[in-house]
């Protein structure tokens, strides 16, 4: 099964088994992973599912679409080169993605 590793800002990690086709945000919310708020439920309107993607995994992801890129200017903790909105990241077969959540989403 594909999996996603969520590391919070203190360094604590959780590994969650994920379903192909779900988003990295949905996977986190369903498993109660703290650090991902996802107020709007995935409609690209709140920027509260911000994650920093591990450099190794970054290259495997499709690039940001225009609206995701715009919304990343509205995150609570400043965006970096590896910033993504986890509602836009789809779990794929065999994926082993590692993301870090910011200290705050609001």
40-59 binders of other proteins (CB under 8 A): 40-48
Compare residues 29 and 51 and give the one whose CB is closer to other proteins.
29
Segment near other proteins (CB under 8 A); pick from 11-19, 20-28, 33-41, 80-88 = 33-41
Smallest distance, other proteins to C-beta of residue 56, A: 29
- 37 CB neighbour count, 10 Å cutoff: 19
3-state secondary structure of 14: strand
By the 8 A CB rule, do 50 and 105 touch? yes
H or E stretch covering 28: helix 24-30
Examine residue 103 and tell whether it contacts other proteins (CB under 8 A). Answer: no
Distance CA 53, CA 44 (A): 18
Q: Which residues bind other proteins (CB under 8 A)?
A: 37, 39-48, 66-67, 70-71, 73-74, 106
């Amino acid at each position: 099964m594909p999996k996603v590793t969520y590391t919070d800002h203190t360094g604590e990690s959780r590994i969650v088994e994920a379903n192909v086709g779900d988003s990295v945000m949905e996977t986190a919310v369903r498993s109660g992973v703290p650090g991902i708020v996802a107020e709007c439920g995935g409609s690209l309107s709140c920027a509260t599912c911000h994650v920093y993607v591990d450099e190794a995994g970054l290259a495997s992801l499709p690039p940001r679409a225009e609206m995701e890129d715009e919304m990343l200017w509205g995150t609570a903790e400043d965006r970096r080169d590896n910033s993504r909105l986890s509602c836009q990241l789809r779990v794929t077969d065999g994926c082993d993605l590692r993301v870090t959540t910011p200290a705050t989403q609001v």
